[in-house]
Every structure is written in structure tokens, then in C-alpha cells.
Structure 1
Amino acid sequence: MIAVAGTGSIVDRLGVRLEPVAGADATALLGVALRRNPLRAHLLVSRVLGKHIPSDPRAVRAAGLLLGLLVADVLAGRPPRALPTERLHAAAAGDRAAAAALHASLAPEGPTDALVLGFAETATALGHCVAEALVSDYLHSTRREVPGVTAAGGFTEEHSHATSHTLLPTDPDLMRGGRPLVLVDDELSTGRTALNTITALHRAMPRERYVVAALVDARPPDSDLVEAVAALGARLDVVSLATARVELPADVIARAAALRSEIDRRADLPTRGGASVGSDAGALPAPLEVRALGWPAGLAVGGRHGFAAADHAAFATALAEVAVPGLEADPAERTLVLGTEELMQLPLRLAQVLADAAGPEAAGVWFSTSTRSPAVVVDEPDYALRTGLVFAAHDGPADGPGRRYAYNLATGDPDAARGGGPAWDRVVVVVDPPGDTPALRSGLLRALAPHTRRTTLLVTP
């Protein structure tokens, strides 16, 4: 971790301004960080996504269900329901009682004959929660090639650190045209990814109705996303929990480059930005418990290859009856459930069940996920990414070896005084078989070891 000298905070010096416009307060849902990307300066960091900030899993799931219920209103042609913004803001700020109450107040609405498509890697769980609220079929894009599964389509994400998305449903009928397609992402900045996706899919499987759903809609006022889809001969509705305006100075790219250079010059750790790196040398510190997840045969653990509307209820039953025994959170322990890249939904739901079972007086259960996103880490009070772990990819990615990241895990809950000890009493790391490799142990698990008293590695079917 490093602190950066200078006049004003990193965000102030970058010049990025986030202004709430409608719906929930975007400044309550988002923080701002500095990207490691020469084409884009800033990263909007969600407090209710479970990707960059450890969050109460009930707040994360509730945000997804709320977004899904707004989609249900649009598809039904009725006015959007009023959002419980006070509870949502409190949950985003870390109020566990508010998160529990908000989560308990929400229930799925459906079934709805629609296909929900989530964007990898950030929105794989968010999209699944939207599909759950609608009781609809679900699929998320993937950046992992799978032998024997034929791609049903693909598209590009402009200016991203990893641009290629592929659709790999095992049931080709899942992509059929005619019914509405709901595209889910955590944030709408320009709308180009959504438009690229709709254009590519409409060419092969045209339909009359599209919905784009995001936690925060931050498109510029002159966005022509809706008009561009209309030019294809289809209708598009955009729904979000919050609408915001992002103001950027004209020289924001140059400012970002200068700040990155300054931060890197001051860093005294092995990688840029003050993050720590997992090493290949030596044995893993004990204790490490490795467990296989018991799971019903034929029931998907996520939406990479498709998830049927009828399976939402079976998924909930499996969590309650199969996954939880032996993994109960000790009410006296601070527990983190950590998903890995695209594998978000099962870890999220597991964390949510553990949090509910632990009760209101427990030390707490948090949820987060590792990521491909390279960003700058600065130990500054109002900065969104205070600490970071850096480690090697561990699932044999098609685009070759590379670095992966996990943010804000070294500090845990900033409101909890740990007396210099590890941030977590227990970390449950959830991987699927392609990610259970020697590189996992020498990378992510080693990087986590100083920050937890014990680690449980949970391997899905």
C-alpha cells in the first residue's frame, strides 16, 4: 500500500465528477478509481456488485433482484415501482441490518418468457439475479474456450482490458428469436458494448424487443443507443437503479497517465500501484482445507452454458440442502466468500445463505470476486481501491497467461479494528475444476494467506 503526496485526492486530481441525476444516488452506489488502461482513465467501482469491494452478499443480491423487478415492470408495460432508496443506500454503505431487511423484502416475479444475457466478467451474478427475479432463462458471455461446445455468437467490448466475448449455450434453442432479450451490465458508460451485442445478435436472430439493464446508467446526454436499435427495426428500453452524469476534463487521459507515473515512482513493492504478488516459492502456509461441492447432477452452477428458468428453484434448494452443511459461518468469525472471475453466482448465493444463517449478531459474512481488471491501488480514505493482490491466472485462459487481481481484501471491513491481525478469520475460495490448478495454490491462495487465519478451497462439479 502507498499514499501519494500532492494537492488534493487522486480522484480530485484526475478531475472525474459523478453527478446523480435520477433514481438511487449514484454516489452512494459507486466509487472512483484509476484504471491501468491507456485508452480509459477511470473505473467506476460498484459497492453492490461484489467484484472490487467486499460487500454484504444480501446487498449484492438485493440490487440484482431490484434491477430485475424494474425490468419486469418495463416488459409488463406498467410504471416502474418506487425504489427503497434509503435501505439501498444504507446497505451499500455497509449497514448489514439494512442489507438483510432489503433482501428479505424482495421476491421473484414471473415466470417471464425472456432470455437474460449477462456480460462477463463483472455482471455474471448480476445478470443471474435479474433472471431469477423474472424467472427467466439465463446465459452469460464468457472469455473461456470450452472444448466440444460450439459458439452461438460473439461480440467485442470496446476499450476494455479484455475485449472478446463468446456465447456458449449447450442448448441452441436458448438463443431463439421472438422473445425479449434482456442485456445486463453493471454500468452503462457509452452503450457501445450493448449496441455491439444487439447488432451482432439481431443479424442472426432478430427480435422485436430488447432491454438493457444496469445498476447505473451513466451514458452521456447525447447517447443514441435507443435510436440506433430502432434503426435495426427493434424497440429498446433502458432501466437502471440510478442515472448519473460523469463529467471528465478534456485532458483526462493525460492526467491519468501522469498520476499513474507518479504513483508507480513512489511504489516500493514488487508491482506497480502497491499491490502484493503471490510467489511460486515455498509451501502454502497452513491451514488450508480443500472440499468438493456436493451438487445435484445436471444442475448448472452458473450461466456460462445456459441456465433454464425452471432451475432457479432447484438452485435455491440445492444451496440449502447440499452446499451449506460443513460450511456454516461461525458467528464469531469474519468470513469472506471469494468467487473467481466469471464464477460469481454460486459464491454469491452461498455467501448469502451463510449470512442469513449466521444471524444479526454475527461478526459477518462478505462476498467478493477476483478480476481481470488492472487498476491502480492507493491507500487513500476516499479512494475506491485501497489494497490489491496480484497473482497469475490459474485456469489456463485461451488468451494465454496473465495477471489477475483481488481488491480491498487486505483491509477487510474498514470499520472493524483488527489489532494488526489478519483481515479475515476465514476465506472460502470457490473455483470450478479448470481453475483448481497448481497455479491457484502458488498464486491466489498464497497471496491470500497473510490476510486470513484459515482458508477453505471449495471446488464445484
Structure 2
Amino acid sequence: MTGIASAPVDRLGIRLRPVGPGVDPTVLLGLALRRNPRRAQLLVSRVLGKHVPADPRLVRAAGLLLGGLVADALAGRPARPLPAQTLHAAVRGDRSAAAALHTDAERAIAAASNTLVIGFAETATALGHCVAEGLGGATYLHSTRRRVPGFAVAGGFTEEHSHATDHLLLPADSALLRAGRPLVLVDDELSTGRTALNTITALHRTAPRERYVVAALVDVRPPGSDLVDAVAALGARLDVVALAQAAIELPADLAERAAALRAELGDGTTPRTAPNGPASRVALSELGWPVGLPVGARHGVGPDHHRRLAAALPYVAAGLARAARLDAGQRILVLGTEELMHLPLRLAQTLADAGHDVAFSSTTRSPAVVVDSPGYALTSGIAFPAHDDPADGPGPRFAYNVGGAHDPPWDHVLVVVDPPGDTPALRTGLLPALTPHARRTSVVVTP
């Protein structure tokens, strides 16, 4: 596989190649093997902050850059040039490049846009939020797989290839979806376009509009994709934007190859192996979190929420650093939990801006094969039970690349949860699983 070679990857026979100049998708992506019969390959983003810990400034900058491309599409102007070399350097670990990329991306934030942005759970909840920020603070809602008492389901759709297919839309105000303003759908990867088309079709049936944009970090749709034509048949216009375009070649016997590899390799994740030491607990509500400010966009956020969050982050992050006793020179991981990604990302990014050595990642539902092999995207992983009483029942959860056998432990891991995730199961599952990989662990609880 061009740019991402390893023995397991070679045996799968998958080839990924760039399409056109600009950002190189083989820099942005690694490859792993799913434990999912619906789709064998897992394209692992190095700029998403989901499966691979990354500099939080890089993760946010990628979302802001994508928001800029959306702004260009909505305005009908040519797409702006992307800082490919700086982005590549940041992905490869250059922290000064990550800082410069983020600073420049913030400076280029578009003027306020009367647009609705929807991000897909779980992987694109933070990415969609950053796209909305890149549009000058557009209204933002992400789908969810958690039913919430008191919030009616205003819409839903399916993701055929996923291990967990049901997405719900739970806006606090159902009128959010009915306005005719442009709608932007954000996902980390655009592989076939079926999820986007399912969503547009479902929403257009009850709330038709003239303009749609689909935005993804990487577009790997096969030639002849009819996504744009399918939306045109509904009577609407669709634009598609991405940081990078790629072509992916899959062997005809991929399913058989993948099944053989899964059987040979197992999953490679390690369960919790030791009781964890006492983890400190920090409540953001005690650090001056603004009253009434949502901690995420499960029920929707608007321009005022974006402004209030930006104003609150410096003093909340400074309070967190004091309360958790974060020291200069410590190697810190901020770990979001499933759909709760954006606030952990922004806390990590603000700590990095203040000079801390911070990486950001998050837990996931995605079952994948872990192989400690050079070039393979998921070289380590931990498994633990769900800890937030999910509506679809208990099940395993995972965190990848948080620490392998040859990696030094993090000096401090900050696990960010909301109240439904702050449970005894957290302390008997995820926290013990992190014990071999962290000298200290703190649980950060949102309001």
C-alpha cells in the first residue's frame, strides 16, 4: 500500500493512491483490519483524534481547514489552496508545524454563516464542531446513539457498513432541522456516500432545502459515484469537499483474505489487567464552567454557544491544569469518550497553546485487529466494557495506540466523561485498562 506498508496490509492486498496534487492521503491515513464482516478495511485517520493520539492543534486545524473549503463551496468560489507541506509536517510529529497550522487556520475562519452543520457520531462529532467553528460559528448538531430522556427523536438514519448502524437526531428545538438554510454533513471519510445520501434523503423528505454540502477529511469514493446526481434527483444541489482525494483498490477476494487474517491474528487488544490506583476526580462545574453552556452538540449549539465556549476555555483549562496538577514537561494524554470528543479536544488544544506537551485521542466502539508491526496503523489497544449504560445494551469499547509494550507510559492521562459515563463501570473497566500505560490518571467530569 503506497506510503502505508506492512506485512498484514500487504496480505490484504489493498492499495491507496493519491488523486491529484495537494494534501497526500497516504500521509493522513493508515490502514487497519476491522473486526466487522460488512467492511474489512479501516482507514485510520492521523488527524481525527479517534484511533491515533495526535497533537490537538493539528486535529482542530484539520477541521477548521475543512470548514474553509465548505465556506468556499457555499460562496461559489474556487477552493482555497491548502497548506499541504505544513500539514504533512504536523502529521509526522513536528509540533511547531502543528502550532503554526492551527494559528493560521484560526486566522482564516470564515465570516458567520447561516448554515446548519451535522456531524456523524461517533467519529465526526468533534470534526463537525470544528467545521462549524470554521464557518464563523454556524449552528451545529451531531447525531447520537444515546437516547436522552426529555429529548424527542427528530430524525434518524442508518450507516450500512458500520458495526453500530442507528443514528438519532435529538435537537433541543425540532425547528432546527426545518429551516431551509444550507445543510452541511460532516464525516471523517467519504467511502461510498451511502450514509450521506441516506441522511439527505431522510431529512429532505420532511425538511427540503436547496443546498447541501458533504465534507470529509478524505474522499475515497470510487469513480462514477452518483452521489451528486442522486441529490439532484431530489431537487437539490450538492457540493462535496475534502482535504484529500484518494483512490482505493480492493482485491476481489478481500473478504476471504480478511477472514483468514482475523482468524490468525485474533484482535490483539489487551483487557484490563490490574486494579487501578486511585484516580483523582476534577469537576469542570467547579472550575467556573458557564451556567447553561452545553458541553457538546448532541442537542445542538448555536453562534452564541461557540462564542461563550471560546471565552471560557482559557480559564477553565487553566483551572484544570491546577486542579489536576499538570506540570511543565509532563507527557499528557487527554482522552475523550466515544461521542464526547469536541470539549476534550478543545481542552487539550488550549493546554497545548499554554505550553503543555499534550496529545488527544478518544475511546471508540470500533472493533479492530491490533498488530504490533511497523507501518500498521493500530499497533496497540485496550478493551473494556461500556460505562455509560448505552441504550443498545452493554458491549466492548476500545482505545487504540494509547500504549504499547515498547512505549513509555504517559505521565498523566485525563479521561473526560459526562455524568452518564461517570459510573462504577468506568472505575472497574477503562481506568484499570489504562493503568499499565499511565503514571497518573484523572477523571474530568463535565457539567
Determine if the TM-score, normalized by the shorter chain, exceeds 0.5.
yes
Which residue is equivalent to 2:191? 189
2:284 counterpart (273, 293, 297): 293
| Superposition TM-score, scaled by structure 2 size | 0.95
Shift in Å at residue 172 of structure 1? Answer: 1.8
Point out the more displaced range, 66-75 or 173-182.
Answer: 173-182
Q: How many residue pairs get matched?
A: 433
Q: Is the contact made by 2:178 and 2:206 (CA closer than 8 Å) also made in structure 1?
A: no
Which residue is equivalent to 2:427? 441
Which residue is equivalent to 2:369? 376
Any idea what SS the aligned residue of 2:167 has? Answer: strand
State whether structure 2 residue 309 is matched by structure 1 residue 303: no
Which residue is equivalent to 1:417? none
Shift in Å at residue 411 of structure 1? Answer: 3.5
Distance across 2 between alignment mates of 1:8 and 1:85: 25
Q: Is the contact made by 1:14 and 1:252 (CA closer than 8 Å) also made in structure 2?
A: yes
Shift in Å at residue 395 of structure 1? Answer: 0.3
Distance across 1 between alignment mates of 2:335 and 2:187: 20
Look up the equivalent residue of 1:169 and give its one-letter code: P
Look up the equivalent residue of 1:460 and give its one-letter code: T
Distance across 1 between alignment mates of 2:350 and 2:208: 39
Structure 1 consecutive aligned stretches of length 4 or more whose deviation exceeds 3 Å? none
Shift in Å at residue 208 of structure 1? Answer: 0.4
Shift in Å at residue 109 of structure 1? Answer: 1.3
Structure 1, unaligned stretches of length 5 or more?
A: 1-6, 265-272, 413-419
Which residue is equivalent to 2:351? 354
Mapping for residues 60-79 of structure 1, pairs under 5 Å: 60-79=59-78
Look up the equivalent residue of 2:128 and give its one-letter code: G
Cα distance change, pair 63–154 in 1 and its aligned pair in 2 (3 A): same
Which residue is equivalent to 2:359? 366
Structure 2, unaligned stretches of length 5 or more?
A: none
Any idea what SS the aligned residue of 2:262 has? Answer: helix
Any idea what SS the aligned residue of 1:238 has? Answer: strand
Distance across 1 between alignment mates of 2:370 and 2:28: 19
Cα distance change, pair 251–136 in 1 and its aligned pair in 2 (3 A): same
Q: Is the contact made by 2:284 and 2:320 (CA closer than 8 Å) also made in structure 1?
A: no
State whether structure 2 residue 120 is matched by structure 1 residue 126: no
Q: Is the contact made by 1:152 and 1:169 (CA closer than 8 Å) also made in structure 2?
A: yes
RMSD of Structure 2 on Structure 1 (CA) = 1.5
Shift in Å at residue 98 of structure 1? Answer: 0.5
Percent identity reads 67
Shift in Å at residue 311 of structure 1? Answer: 1.5
Look up the equivalent residue of 2:277 and give its one-letter code: P
Q: Is the contact made by 1:422 and 1:450 (CA closer than 8 Å) also made in structure 2?
A: no
Look up the equivalent residue of 1:77 and give its one-letter code: G
Shift in Å at residue 450 of structure 1? Answer: 1.1
Q: Is the contact made by 2:32 and 2:369 (CA closer than 8 Å) also made in structure 1?
A: yes
Q: Is the contact made by 1:65 and 1:106 (CA closer than 8 Å) also made in structure 2?
A: yes
State whether structure 2 residue 341 is matched by structure 1 residue 344: yes
Cα distance change, pair 54–421 in 1 and its aligned pair in 2 (3 A): closer
Which residue is equivalent to 1:97? 96
Mapping for residues 191-340 of structure 1, pairs under 5 Å: 191-264=193-266, 273-278=267-272, 283-286=275-278, 288-294=279-285, 295-327=289-321, 329-340=326-337
Which residue is equivalent to 1:390? 383
Q: Is the contact made by 2:221 and 2:247 (CA closer than 8 Å) also made in structure 1?
A: yes
Distance across 2 between alignment mates of 1:45 and 1:138: 25
Distance across 1 between alignment mates of 2:60 and 2:110: 15
Cα distance change, pair 342–326 in 1 and its aligned pair in 2 (3 A): closer
